[in-house]
A = this chain, B = another copy of it.
Amino acid sequence: MENINLKTLAAQLHLSTATVSKALRDSHEISDETKQRVRALAAALNYIPNPYASSLRKKSSKTIAVVIPEVADSFFAEAINGIEAVAQSKGYHVLIYLTHESFEKEKAILMDFQSGRVDGVLLSVSAETVNTNHILTLQSHQIPIVVFDRICDEIKTAKVSTDDYNSGYKAAQHLIDRGYKKIAYLSISKTLSISRKRMNGYMQAMKENNFLPAEFYICECTTDDEYNNAVIENLLNNENRPDGIIASVEKLTTSVYSACRRLQLKIPEDVGVISFSNLKTAAILNPSLTTITQPAFDIGNAAASLLFKSFEKKSFQLDAESQSFPSVLHIRNST
């Protein structure tokens, strides 16, 4: 099929490309009669505007980027659905970028956005991200950015997340209420603000109950499943092993359950397990898993809504619009 562009239309109508372009944009400089002729031919030939030419003219790409660590996580899969619901209603495309928890990759992705490839960015930072210079640089290029879930407290913009401190507190208090005393916390990052907040909530609950967790009980896991399996098995194979575990991310659940099985430790009798998770299969695990479940769809939806508000109204102050959605404790048989 021949490529139909402004030139083709102009040649067939004996008009200049500028006139055809203005007619298609409904310019007041063009007569109604000419507009009708142009539109009729454009429709007949199935003319589709080139989005890149269109982007150059309008300085809008009609695209937003979602930068996240991974998609193999129920939280992000659901959050994307929440983001897409807003973007589709606004006629926008959603570009999904994965950092695979690499700070270097995250910096390269944001650097690329400086060129105007996207109109705005929704970001959930990597486990490695230690500073926010790359975000500040992007903001200085007038590209609005909203952080969600894994937020950075320092930057001035809207932050949409859950009540991480309370959730960590709630998880620990629930284990304490069930009689567990030696409670370990599995983190995936020392630098991630949400991981720190969840851990601080856990520490506070432990302190209030006069349980002072040993350094040994705070385990830093990584993106490497095999490494995590080894760390968790080592933790549970110690004579001073914990009797309760808080997994701060969903993917650690499988490692904890598998380690318990290998070591013949019974859940919940020998070890109580609670996980931050949006796993649909939580209720059918062996045993069913007690979870702190985040409102993932709502978080994605709210973050995207704020970004679009900033597109629509230049005076809209993103940094005055942070939102927090409470997570919910689902008690099941693992505790």
Contact = CB atoms under 8 A, between A and B. Distances in A.
Nearest to A48: B115
Interface residues of A, number: 51
A152 B285 CA distance: 35
A268 to B, nearest CB: 13
B84 A77 contact: no
A284 interface: yes
A227 to B, nearest CB: 16
A51 to B, nearest CB: 5
Interface string A72-95: 101011101100100000000111
Contact of A50 (B51, B97, B115, B261): B115
Interface string A41-62: 0000000111111011000010
Interface in A88-127: 93-98, 111-112, 114-117
A213 interface: no
Interface of A: 1, 3, 48-53, 55-56, 61, 70-72, 74, 76-78, 80-81, 84, 93-98, 111-112, 114-117, 137, 140-141, 251, 253-254, 257-258, 261, 279-281, 283-288
